């Protein structure tokens, strides 16, 4: 562990008011370390929402455990807690509480159930850095939590992940896994990631995002750039170079992002309110959540529309940054769901949301004019109530 990475981990702890954080190459690697530190293995079951990124499910499969899917509730897209107890069996060894789009899960309800059953909760905070539940930051309710700093996340270091826990014994196990990680990223990967970060900061703006994403996907398939996921990660078998540590490029970039984190969070909150206002002015619903309980810091602003595919293709042509995750219960869509123990119909609300939800950008490059353009574009479609 070098000084730069230690400093990054310390600053991250400072941000959340916690004591221990462990940086990794990606968020999914951080999750893998947590699951392994919890001793999860063959025959164990891990509960996950049926509306997630398949990269979140991979670490469970890598450890030969079984993902058990719970449907979501339609407004916050988070795990439907009323369905949770019925999914718990003697084999359940963890529940992953994913704070989707930035909306915190109902942590009291979840931890009531898990405490009764003596099951640890892992919070997936990849989309929710800074969100609060009952005045406390997400990531501090479960036994452990993890964060991602991939391109679309609350702040980006290109790729990046962080595992946190307040449990001292668990922390020592994660620390030892971090010290004995499988490998380092290669110098070619690090150099390329550094170049990609520069290109991103110089050229990727709401109007150029769709084009940049198409180019990025094309170059990823060709193996020219460091993609968010390698080809091997679209299969539930762990590649030999999966378990990687963090590079100095990521740590340095993370430290820079943390210096601006308060402005980033304030901006996201302000722009989400702005979308609420602009959408409501046009007769749309805006966000629905209990403001006395949660204070979300949204990573993106979800809306439900009819004709999602048409909206996405027209947005790309018009230079409107419209996001589309999750496109299936285990995003991205190419993944054969059966190899992840998911059967169609298991999570009807999640499947419905996958067909209807697009998301509007909230990152620091979104200004008022962009928000207005985005809303002018989206209201040409029909909102699904
Ligand atoms: C909710 C969620 N959790 C975890 C991850 C995995 O994060 P990373 O790409 O850093 O491995 C993703 C996808 O990027 C995600 O959307």
Q: What is the pLDDT of residues 305-327, one digit of tens each?
A: 999 999 999 999 999 999 998 99
Kind of pairing between the strands at 52-53 and 330-331: parallel
Q: Is the pLDDT of residue 139 over 70?
A: yes
Which atom in ligand 1 lies closest to the alpha carbon of residue 152? 14
Q: Is the pLDDT of residue 230 over 90?
A: no
Q: What is the DSSP string of 294-343?
A: EE---SEEEEEBS-HHHHHHHHHHHT---B---SSTEESTTS-GGGGT--
Q: Any idea which residue has 């909760």 for tokens?
A: 121
At residue 235 the predicted structure's pLDDT band, cuts being 50, 70 and 90, is: confident
Work out the number of other CB atoms within 10 angstroms of the CB of residue 26.
Answer: 24
C-beta of 53 in contact with ligand 1 (< 6 A): yes
Which atom in ligand 1 lies closest to the alpha carbon of residue 229? 9
Q: Is the pLDDT of residue 206 over 90?
A: no
C-beta of 123 in contact with ligand 1 (< 6 A): no
Mean pLDDT of the residues in the chain: 95
What's the average model confidence in pLDDT over 146-157?
96
Q: Is the pLDDT of residue 24 over 70?
A: yes
Gap from CA of 14 to ligand 1 centroid (Å): 23
At residue 39 the predicted structure's pLDDT band, cuts being 50, 70 and 90, is: very high
Gap from CA of 53 to ligand 1 centroid (Å): 6
Gap from CA of 146 to ligand 1 centroid (Å): 9
- How many residues appear in the chain? 385
Give this prediction's pTM: 0.96
What's the average model confidence in pLDDT over 239-250?
94
Gap from CA of 281 to ligand 1 centroid (Å): 33
Calculate Rg over the CA atoms of the chain. Answer: 20
Gap from CA of 283 to ligand 1 centroid (Å): 33
pLDDT of residue 186: 87
CA 22, distance to chain mean position in Å, is 17
Given ligand 1 and candidates 29, 126, 138, which is best to mutate, with the most ligand atoms within 8 Å of its CB?
Answer: 126
pLDDT of residue 333: 67
Query: 224, exposed or middle or buried, with CB in 10 Å at 0-12, 13-18, 19+?
Result: exposed
What's the average model confidence in pLDDT over 144-169?
97
């Amino acid at each position: 562990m070098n000084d730069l990475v230690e400093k990054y981990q310390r600053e991250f702890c400072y941000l959340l008011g916690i004591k221990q954080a462990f940086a990794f190459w990606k968020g999914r690697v951080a999750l893998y370390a947590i699951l392994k530190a919890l001793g999860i293995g063959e025959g164990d079951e891990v509960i996950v929402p049926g509306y997630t990124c398949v990269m979140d499910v991979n670490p469970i499969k890598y450890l030969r455990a079984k993902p058990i899917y719970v449907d979501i509730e339609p407004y916050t897209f988070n795990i439907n807690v009323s369905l949770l107890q019925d999914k718990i069996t003697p084999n359940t060894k963890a529940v992953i509480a994913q704070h989707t789009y930035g909306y915190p899960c109902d942590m009291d309800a979840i931890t009531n159930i898990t405490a009764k059953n003596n099951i640890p909760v892992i919070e997936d905070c990849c989309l929710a850095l800074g969100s609060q539940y009952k005045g406390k930051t997400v990531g501090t309710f479960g036994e452990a939590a993890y964060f991602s700093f991939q391109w679309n996340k609350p702040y980006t270091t290109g790729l990046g992940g962080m595992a946190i826990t307040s449990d001292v014994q668990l922390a020592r196990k994660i620390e030892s896994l971090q010290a004995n990680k499988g490998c380092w990223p290669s110098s070619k990967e690090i150099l390329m990631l550094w170049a990609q970060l520069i290109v991103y900061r110089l050229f990727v703006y709401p109007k150029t995002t769709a084009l940049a994403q198409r180019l990025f996907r094309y170059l990823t398939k060709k193996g020219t750039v460091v993609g968010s996921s390698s080809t091997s990660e679209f299969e539930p078998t762990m590649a030999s170079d999966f378990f990687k540590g963090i590079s100095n490029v990521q740590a340095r970039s993370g430290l820079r992002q943390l210096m601006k984190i308060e402005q980033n969070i304030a901006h996201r909150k302000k722009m989400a309110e702005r979308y609420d206002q602009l959408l409501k002015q046009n007769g749309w619903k805006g966000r629905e959540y209990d403001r006395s309980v949660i204070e979300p810091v949204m990573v993106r602003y979800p809306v439900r529309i009819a004709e999602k595919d048409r909206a996405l293709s027209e947005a790309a042509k018009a230079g409107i940054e419209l996001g589309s995750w999750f496109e299936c219960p285990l995003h991205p869509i190419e993944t054969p769901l059966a190899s992840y123990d998911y059967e169609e119909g298991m999570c009807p609300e999640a499947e419905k949301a996958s067909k209807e939800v697009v998301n509007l950008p909230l990152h620091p490059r979104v200004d008022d004019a962009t928000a207005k353009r985005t809303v002018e574009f989206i209201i040409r479609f029909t909102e699904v109530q």
